[in-house]
Amino acid sequence: MKAAIHPEYKETQMICACGTVMNTKSTEKVIRLDICSACHPFFTGLQKIVDAEGRVERFKKKYAKK
């Protein structure tokens, strides 16, 4: 490897939106995540709908049985 051309590889904190903090190594100092293994439905077995614009509620309201 050539000297002085590679970025510094340092300790990093990965912070999820659910509040989970994981430590790893990367070239970035802090990495922010939207979803991680602690809150992802595949790993938890729970269905969790991530909806930022209210689309799920609009769908339920539109197709609700009256």
CATH of domain 10-62: 4.10.80.400
User: Is 64 in a helix, a strand, or coil?
Assistant: coil
| pTM for this prediction | 0.54
Short-list 60, 63, 61, 64, CA closest to 49: 60
pLDDT per residue as tens digits for the range 21-45: 999 999 999 999 888 878 776 666 6
Share the mean pLDDT of the chain.
Answer: 82
Query: CA-CA distance, 29 to 11, in Å (whole number)?
Result: 7
| Kind of pairing between the strands at 21-26 and 30-33 | unpaired
One-letter amino acid for residue 6 of the chain: H
